[in-house]
Amino acid sequence: MKKITSLLLAGFLTLSVGMTSCMDDFDTPITEDVYGNSNIEKERTISIADLKTNYLSVITANGLKQITEDTRIVGVVVGDDESGNIYKQLIVRDETGAIVVGINSTGVYAGCPAGQKVVIDCKGLYIGGYGKQAQLGSIYQGKVGRMDYNIWLDHVRLIDKPRVSYDELVPMVMTAETLKSYNQDLAPLLVTFKEVTFKEADGTATYAPDSDKDGGNGVNRTLVFEDGSTLTFRTSAYANFSNDVMPTGKVTVTGVLSRYNSSWQIVARTSDDIKK
């Protein structure tokens, strides 16, 4: 299950939902005047769900195709690379769905943190499948990969200041039963699972110790649902909470639910995504 790790290792909603309304905006946000391309029109031409549907055959074949027509999506960043558990990517979501955006740079959250609304001009970018999951980016070894940072800056426009009040930041509450029948073509998803346990939690085991990391520099743990079914919980060994002790007993887990071919796995954006 290391494959999705390269897609999803690092980001996080660092803002507290309990902030008062007067603190709904970030204190010192980067504005569109100094980040991105302010010449991009603000209105979308297509929803994220329809974009993925239009290229579904390419995505599910793990192929790629350059977008040549005027195509703009508008969404909110729901996963960034600040914590180290989403690597060189952002997860952008509108009211219809979400997509992975690959960017060959670290620290992207400084300009596009979770809660930032963006317009992405997709014309000239590539869309493809990584483990049959949709990704925007560039060509890498004949497959869809991460775009150079300067290309990203030329294809993104910020909309207003980052906010914690966007509906897109509210995860879908999902159950084991829902997961079993859910359409994997809709991945990635921002979700919450309640009343789950970590199979490996014993009071001392951590999320991703160096001693257990695989070739993808991550560690797979197992979430167990009340019906006994399981879900892979993936953590990067470089995440800033990788050496935190996993909680025992029932927990609520929020994160980015992704697919790799026919398998599901979830990646927490930060340790705050796991609550007793």
pLDDT in tens, 35-51: 999 999 999 999 999 99
Q: Are residues 161 and 269 in the same domain?
A: no
pLDDT tens-digit series, residues 179-199: 999 999 999 999 999 999 999
Peptide bond into 247 cis (omega under 30): no
CA dist 53 and 64 (Å) reads 14
Number of domains in the chain: 2
pLDDT tens-digit series, residues 93-103: 999 999 999 99
Boundaries of domain holding 206: 171-275
Tell me which residue of 181, 162, 184, 179 sits closest to 97, measured CA to CA: 184
Q: Are residues 44 and 78 in the same domain?
A: yes
Domain boundary among 109, 138, 168: 168
Domain boundary among 168, 203, 232: 168
pLDDT for residue 3: 43
CA dist 243 and 28 (Å) reads 31
Domain boundary among 134, 168, 202: 168
Q: Are residues 39 and 93 in the same domain?
A: yes
Q: Are residues 20 and 68 in the same domain?
A: yes
Q: Are residues 28 and 129 in the same domain?
A: yes
The domain spanning residue 175 has which CATH number? 2.40.50.200
Q: pTM for the whole thing?
A: 0.87
Q: Are residues 31 and 108 in the same domain?
A: yes
